[in-house]
Structure 1
Amino acid sequence: MNADQMLAEIREANLSYLMLAQSLIRADREQALYRLGISEETATLISTLSPAQIMKIAAGNTLLCAFRMSDDLVWGLLTNHSKPGANESVSRLHASILMAGRHEHA
């Protein structure tokens, strides 16, 4: 993948993320705050963006979204690499609980 293709992919990801975020915020604000891991202020800002503003912001060369979990425990639970024979649904539930707790502290 060359640099131009990578920038195009970043812009597409930004546009998709902003459109999804705005839709989630407008549909169910509390769920959006949790699922997106954003503050009230950020949610208010995103929900009021016009389509032209979304396009302009998405056109940047910096990825707007980021991974919310950065520790090995959560990644191990999500990928089931932490314990051989682990129950996938229990591991995902555990990961969700950990991430929800981190959202409450943010």
Structure 2
Amino acid sequence: MNADQILSEIREANLSYLMLAQSLIRADREQALYRLGISEDSAALIALLTPAQMMKIAASNTLLCRFRMDDDMVWGLLTNHGKSANDSTARLHASILMAGRHQEAA
């Protein structure tokens, strides 16, 4: 993949993320804050973006979203699914850890 293709993919991912985020925020703000891992202020700004503003923001060469699973414990809980009888428990544990991180960020 060359540099132009990478930039095109980043722009497409950004636009998809903004559209999804805006849709989630408008449908259920509290769930959106948790699922997206964003603050109330960010949610308010995203909710008010026009399509033209979203296109302009999406054109950035930097991804707008990021992984929230930044430690080995969460990655381990998410990637070991199906390897034990406690698959649902591991996923629940990962969700609880990520929810705690959302609270820290907010």
* TM class, shorter-length: over 0.9
Residues in 1 aligned to 2:64 and 2:102: alpha-carbon distance in whole angstroms: 18
Q: How big is each residue's C-alpha offset from its partner over 1:56-103, in whole Å with a ceiling of 9 and x where there is no partner?
A: 00011111000012000000000018xx63522111111001111121
Q: Name the residue aligned to 2:51.
A: 51
Q: Name the residue aligned to 1:8.
A: 8
Aligned residue pairs, count: 104
RMSD (Å) for aligned C-alpha atoms: 1.3
User: Which sections of structure 2, spanning at least 5 residues, go unmatched?
Assistant: none
User: Which sections of structure 1, spanning at least 5 residues, go unmatched?
Assistant: none
TM-score with structure 2 setting the length: 0.93
TM-score with structure 1 setting the length: 0.93
The structure, 1 or 2, with the larger RCO (C-alpha pairs under 8 Å, 6+ apart) is 2
Q: Name the residue aligned to 1:100.
A: 99
Any residues of structure 2 matched to 1:1-106 within 5 Å, and which? 1-80=1-80, 85=84, 87-106=86-105
Residues in 1 aligned to 2:60 and 2:101: alpha-carbon distance in whole angstroms: 29
Runs of 4 or more above 3 Å deviation: none
Residues in 1 aligned to 2:85 and 2:96: alpha-carbon distance in whole angstroms: 17
